[in-house]
Amino acid sequence: DVKVTQSSRYLVKRTGEKVFLECVQDMDHENMFWYRQDPGLGLRLIYFSYDVKMKEKGDIPEGYSVSREKKERFSLILESASTNQTSMYLCASSLWQGVGFTYEQYFGPGTRLTVT
């Protein structure tokens, strides 16, 4: 079974704090993703990575950065948390999607972040 774990289920931070969200997968997947999920908006892609030390911006990268130093670990960093970053954050991983191949994503349980 693929397992994707996230460091916290619930997190409360103050405005201006630096926040680290950690994600680890145990299936040797090349691709890893960070989404946020808000009511009525669905999942929106923040960043993704297709290899160690590689990263690509998604649809809403502003205010976020990422780090992928090891294949199994993908970190999302909120440089200076703001109240509009209160959301559910979901990490996902998948096998490498080569030309003509698309693989499903496996999701972690999510981190509900509240910024006060």
Partner 1 sequence: GQNIDQPTEMTATEGAIVQINCTYQTSGFNGLFWYQQHAGEAPTFLSYNVLDGLEEKGRFSSFLSRSKGYSYLLLKELQMKDSASYLCAVKDNDMRFGAGTRLTVKP
Binding site for partner 1 (CB under 8 A): 4, 33, 35, 40-45, 48, 58-59, 90, 97, 102, 104-110
Considering the complex, what minimum distance in angstroms separates the CB of residue 79 from partner 1?
Answer: 23
Of the candidates 102, 97, 90, which has an alpha carbon nearest to the alpha carbon of residue 34? 90
Considering the complex, what minimum distance in angstroms separates the CB of residue 80 from partner 1?
Answer: 26
Q: Note whether 32 and 91 are within 8 A (CB).
A: yes
Nearer to partner 1, 47 or 115 (CB): 47
Q: Note whether 106 and 94 are within 8 A (CB).
A: yes
Q: Note whether 75 and 66 are within 8 A (CB).
A: yes
Nearer to partner 1, 16 or 109 (CB): 109
Considering the complex, what minimum distance in angstroms separates the CB of residue 48 from partner 1?
Answer: 7
Nearer to partner 1, 69 or 104 (CB): 104
* Distance, CA of 39 to CA of 36 (rounded, Å): 10
| Phi then psi dihedrals of residue 31, to 5 deg | -90, 140
Nearer to partner 1, 44 or 73 (CB): 44
Considering the complex, what minimum distance in angstroms separates the CB of residue 105 from partner 1?
Answer: 7
